[in-house]
Amino acid sequence: MNTSSAQSGKLHGQLGYGLLYIILIAVAVIQVLPLVWLLLFSLKNNQEIFNLAPFAFPEQFRWENYSKVWTAGNISLYFFNSVWMTAAAVAFTVLLSSFVTFAVTRMRWKLQSVVLGMFMVGLMIPVHSTLIPLFRLFTKLGLTNHPLSVILSYIAFNLPVTMMIMLGFYYSLPREVEEAAIMDGCSVNRLFFSVTLPMTSSVVSTSVIINMIYNWNEFIFVNTFISSDKYKTLTVGIQNFIGQYTTDWGAIGATLMISIIPILIAFIALSNRIVKGIAAGSVKG
């Protein structure tokens, strides 16, 4: 009887795992299908896009769509702008968030809870409600049509979210390591850069990829503050292929594929650290 029950339990367990794998494979396929559709979309002309089935192969793979948007469409400039603006905003956001999170979780000083609450209030401010005040502010400062206006906006709106991601992880760090470093004569600055920051590499990776996705795909700030093609990013540059009478849909698809590739590469490269950072940051103590 016991042997029969054990075998039955083992069989049920195998069936459960099999069903789970089937569900996960189905979810993975559903997630990949839009990328496959977009790739096929980017290799067609307008006639094929509207006449063929969504997942049908084009009569001819039109790789020239990519070369056309990269050169004639000025996408190379927009791509470079997206890269350096995103990199600058992510670097400053993650560094400043680490500074503030370290100060409010690892140090004792007056009003630290008030300061933390002020940063968390930023989570409740809608982006759209700040466009007019920010535009007026940047106009007075002479920063309209300047990349600094976009970078500063990215940093300001991503700070609260990044801090929220880091808070749980910082609270869970053992204080014994920091106390030992202080006993050895370590200063606060060296304590942060040499001890605490290396221990938070997983949550930093999580913060980097989340900020990168937001900044890379952001449209509103660039469209509002930037008018010159010199500083436009990919998300805004796509509008160049939309005309009043004709629209080159294949070129738009190629541009979207170009914009997706860096995010996919970054996510694949940092996927393990992202999972560790989310798991560790979700538990306090």
Query: Which residues, at least 6 apart from 213, have a Cβ–Cβ distance to it below 8 Å?
Result: 263, 267
Residues 6 and 115 in one domain: no
Q: 265 pLDDT exceeds 60? A: yes
Q: 133 pLDDT exceeds 60? A: yes
**What is the reported pLDDT for 84?**
94
At residue 279 the predicted structure's pLDDT band, cuts being 50, 70 and 90, is low
- Tracing tokens 């400062």 back to the chain, one arrives at 141
Whether 164 and 123 have beta carbons less than 8 Å apart is answered as yes
Residues 156 and 121 in one domain: yes
What is the rounded distance in angstroms from the CA atom of residue 244 to the CA atom of residue 100? 48
pLDDT, the chain, mean:
85
What is the 8-class DSSP label of residue 111? T
**Looking at the domain assignment, is residue 57 inside a domain?**
no
Provide the number of structural domains found in the chain: 2
| Per-residue pLDDT reduced to its tens digit, 82-122 | 999 999 999 999 999 999 999 998 888 888 888 888 888 88
**Looking at the domain assignment, is residue 202 inside a domain?**
yes
**What is the reported pLDDT for 239?**
77
Q: 160 pLDDT exceeds 50? A: yes
What is the rounded distance in angstroms from the CA atom of residue 17 to the CA atom of residue 28? 16
**Looking at the domain assignment, is residue 62 inside a domain?**
no
Q: What is the pTM of this model?
A: 0.81
Lowest mean per-residue pLDDT among 125-129, 227-231, 263-267: 263-267
Q: 195 pLDDT exceeds 70? A: yes
> 282 vs 207, which has greater pLDDT?
207
Please give the radius of gyration of the chain, using alpha carbons only, rounded to the nearest integer: 24
**Looking at the domain assignment, is residue 59 inside a domain?**
no
| Per-residue pLDDT reduced to its tens digit, 19-67 | 888 998 999 899 889 999 999 999 998 888 888 888 888 888 988 888 8
Q: 1 pLDDT exceeds 60? A: no
- Residue 11: which domain range? 2-51
**What is the reported pLDDT for 225?**
94
**Looking at the domain assignment, is residue 67 inside a domain?**
no
**What is the reported pLDDT for 284?**
46
